[in-house]
Amino acid sequence: MIELAENRYGKSRIRLMKVSRTPKGNELREWTVQVLLIGDFDSAHYEGDNSKILPTDTMKNTVYSVARKSSAIAMEDYAKELVDFLLARNPKVTSVSVAIEGTMWKRLSIDGKPHPTSFMRGSGELQTTAVSRGRTDGFIIHSGFTNLVVMKTADSGFEGYIQDELTTLKPTSDRLFCTAVTAQWSYTVQALAFDAMRAAMREAMLKTFANHKSKSVQETLYEMGKSALERVAEVDEINITMPNKHCLLVDLSRFGQDNPNEIFVPTDEPAGHIEARVRRKL
């Protein structure tokens, strides 16, 4: 006997650019949205009966329509509105999940002053959130960021590790430390100043990265997570991934030149992969 265990469906990679126009200038947000529905869709799988199926193209249009009516600034608040809208309109749906990635845009500075209507694309960093709710449940909110590429050119080393006959890496007290930080956390309260808290978590982590005298990626990761939790009391734990984007010192001795830690070749593959979950003690 074969049966359907579970299923969900939706629309992904819905691109949304929203301009909020005010007398003092405009605000720009670029979001990529995914919507997933769980519900009574068994007949579509077993019988090809689409009478309970909301077309994914309709989900795409819903993203734009809700955005037009929404006054939400934070992606978390917009996602909550979208979840509630879809639950209210579709009785066969038991839960909705919305995931959003936010692209970084920065206001242009012209003659030393922020320009009210012009922007430039920021780094490859993406702000993230995943919001879900069942009909009788509260919101589950996971937020964070991904691909925040940072580098230290001093105060980083790696020594005292295991060495055997297969070890070729040389210990160093002075190396480049480059990584692409991904962080995710959950909120214990559902109505918060999400943008301000994300900014505070991010700022605390970056400050620690810059000032910490690193003995390893692991040590710096822990200190970054610790500082973020100390900064924002509403978050109990944070998951951090920090791949080591290696920068290898180039041997210039064959050209009769020295290399006092100045010339490197960056390489992405293979990469060290370091991750951990940092939490408050229970």
Which residues touch 15 (CB under 8 Å, ≥6 apart)? Answer: 30, 32
Active site residue 246: yes
> Which tokens go with 20?
């909020």
Cβ atoms within 10 A of the Cβ of 114, count?
11
Active site residue 115: no
Q: Which residue among the candidates 32, 56, 146, 153 is catalytic per the annotation?
A: 56
Task: Please choose, from the candidates 74, 69, 44, 43, the residue with its C-alpha nearest in 3D space to the C-alpha of residue 56.
Answer: 44
Contact 28, 19 (CB under 8 A): yes
Q: Which residue among the candidates 11, 60, 80, 212 is catalytic per the annotation?
A: 11
Q: Which residue among the candidates 80, 152, 245, 246 is catalytic per the annotation?
A: 246
Q: Report strand pairing: 237-241 vs 247-249.
A: unpaired
d(CA 159, CA 145): 30
Q: Is the dihedral of CA 8, 132, 106, 177 positive or negative?
A: negative
Active site residue 92: no
Active site residues: 11, 56, 246
